[in-house]
Amino acid sequence: MSEKTRYALITGASSGIGECFARALARRRRNLVLVARSAEKLQTLAAELSQSHQVAAIPLVVDLAESGAASRVHETLKQQQIEIDLLVNNAGIGAQGEFWNVPLDRQARIIQLNIQALVELSALLVPPMVQRREGAIINVSSTASFQPLPYSSVYAASKAFVTGFSTGIAEELRPYKVKVVTLCPGTTRTQFFDSGGYGPRRFRGGYQEPEKVAQAGLQALDRGGGLVLSRPLDRCLIFIERFLPRRWIAQGAAGLFKP
Ligand SMILES: NC(=O)c1ccc[n+]([C@@H]2O[C@H](COP(=O)([O-])OP(=O)(O)OC[C@H]3O[C@@H](n4cnc5c(N)ncnc54)[C@H](OP(=O)(O)O)[C@@H]3O)[C@@H](O)[C@H]2O)c1
């Protein structure tokens, strides 16, 4: 595989943590495939990164919450003879509210994007990495994956899936030298809360900057992979929560997330 045909693919690259991954990887002189729905944002970012870092940056406008989207991405990559040696499964959405009041279509899109697209892209892009005995995946999960999150129950459950899936396949892929990072940010200053209808709210420990989250993910990749909580405070809280009854944790979270 030549340097020219090797690319990193980032889902949800048009804003927040995904955009920070794109910028950080361009600084490392990586060619990029940038995936999201916002065509204009992707095109502007791709043009900026390819010009300032002399890398190839390809915008790919796809709604990953639509069924069959991952296969269409895979087909486009094959047609353009692009080989992916780093997959950053970052795109994700949430929704706030009592689960029976959140429209079923929104819940289905959370599951389709956060789970289905992530599994399908991994399944389609990993086999060549296994064959080459080289490659990596960064799965962006969440601290929400370790606990119930009332009023965001489907989101937290989707991230519990991501952490379980990602730490599981890490062991399956280890013998083939394919690295897996399971990145679990806490509250981060992005558009996530606005687009999920959470409204303005305060969180313990405030907000992390998305650049720091992406940096923690890439540092973990440099170390060979693993499960990463990007903020020290979250490492302490998640450790303590292991020893508390799950119901207490759910009650505490309900107080924070109640609409
Ligand atoms: N912010 C936090 O506090 C926080 C904490 C823990 C984990 N996370 C996780 O971090 C990841 C990134 O989120 P963020 O915080 O950076 O939020 P963000 O700024 O809202 O970014 C979300 C990205 O996903 C893309 N996206 C949304 N729906 C999509 C779809 N149907 N198809 C393709 N792309 C789609 C968005 O682009 P388009 O709208 O252009 O499609 C955007 O680029 C998510 O997996 C989230 O669960 C965030």
Six-digit token pair at 91?
């795109």
Closest-lying ligand 1 atom to the alpha carbon of residue 195: 20
pLDDT of residue 259: 84
- Ligand 1 center to 238 CA (angstroms): 23
- Ligand 1 center to 1 CA (angstroms): 31
Closest-lying ligand 1 atom to the alpha carbon of residue 143: 6
Task: Indicate the number of domains in the chain.
Answer: 1
Bridge partners of residue 227, in order along the sequence: 182
Q: Is 50 in the pocket of ligand 1 (CB under 6 A)?
A: no
Q: How does pLDDT run along the chain (259 residues), one tens digit per residue?
A: 667 779 999 999 999 999 999 999 999 999 999 999 999 999 999 999 999 999 999 999 999 999 999 999 999 999 999 999 999 999 999 999 999 999 999 999 999 999 999 999 999 999 999 999 999 999 999 999 999 999 999 999 999 999 999 999 999 999 999 999 999 999 999 999 998 888 766 676 789 999 999 999 999 999 999 999 999 999 999 999 999 999 999 999 998 888 8
Fill in the amino acid letter for 32: L
d(CA 105, CA 109): 6
Q: Is 195 in the pocket of ligand 1 (CB under 6 A)?
A: yes
User: What CATH number does the domain containing 194 carry?
Assistant: 3.40.50.720
| C-alpha closest to that of 257 among 150, 157, 184, 155 | 150
Residues catalogued as catalytic: 155
DSSP annotation of 37 = S
- Ligand 1 center to 211 CA (angstroms): 14
| C-alpha closest to that of 9 among 41, 36, 44 | 36
pTM for this model (two decimals): 0.96
Q: Is 32 in the pocket of ligand 1 (CB under 6 A)?
A: no
Residue closest via CA to ligand 1's atom 47 equals 92
Q: How many C-alpha atoms does 233 have within 13 Å on its Cβ side? A: 9
Q: Which residues of 169-185 are buried (b: 16+ CB within 10 A; e: fewer)?
A: bbeebeeeebbbbbbbb
Residue 27 CB coordination number (10 Å): 13
9, 10, 11, 14, best to mutate for ligand 1 pocket (most atoms within 8 Å of CB) = 14
Q: Containing domain of residue 93, as a range?
A: 3-257
